[in-house]
Amino acid sequence: MSRLSNSAKGIEETSIGCMDGRDVQLPRAIHVLSVGPVDFGSKVHDVLLDGPNSRLSIAPDYRELWAIPKQDSIQVAILHDTLSSFELEDASRFIRRRWPHARILVLRSGEGFLEDALYDERVALTAAPEVLLAAIGRLAGGWQKCPHNREGTE
């Protein structure tokens, strides 16, 4: 009951007014692509559980990117540190060509590993899950945590 009442606190009056079905807007779902080991994909999956509507595809290495249909709309691609510099560059270039609107987030420590034009943001491997989720949100264009998961409302 308390969770229901806490969720109801976040409902705005204008939201109630559109519940008649004419003007309902659901949160925009984003498609995240994780390129790296499957256990890293599991970490990304766990982080995405705190966000609204998401879909996750995992490519264990950069060659597996060919298996993902070109028609898939990828909003954020996350490249992992286990890829070599060569693989990071090839994966970034491939993603830029196949999904030109996708934003690229690299999880890696250190500098000088990739040209700035080949990625949009970098997060340290040791970053907290909240930092990774915030970076995904920025790159996805304002996608945020569910209102009921915001601090201070639970």
The pLDDT-based confidence of 117 (bands split at 50, 70, 90) is: confident
Question: Does 5 score more than 50 pLDDT?
Answer: no
Q: What is the mean pLDDT of the chain?
A: 75
pLDDT at 93: 94
- Report the CATH number that the domain containing residue 128 is assigned in CATH: 3.40.50.2300
Residue 12 falls within a domain, yes or no?
Answer: no
Cα–Cα dist 82/108, whole Å: 9
**118 found inside a domain:** yes
Radius of gyration for the alpha carbons in the chain, expressed in angstroms and rounded: 18
Q: Quick check: 20 pLDDT over 60?
A: no
Domain count, the chain: 1
State the alpha helices, DSSP H only, in the chain: 2-9, 13-17, 38-48, 85-98, 129-139
pTM over 0.75: no
In which domain, by residue range, is 126 found?
30-149
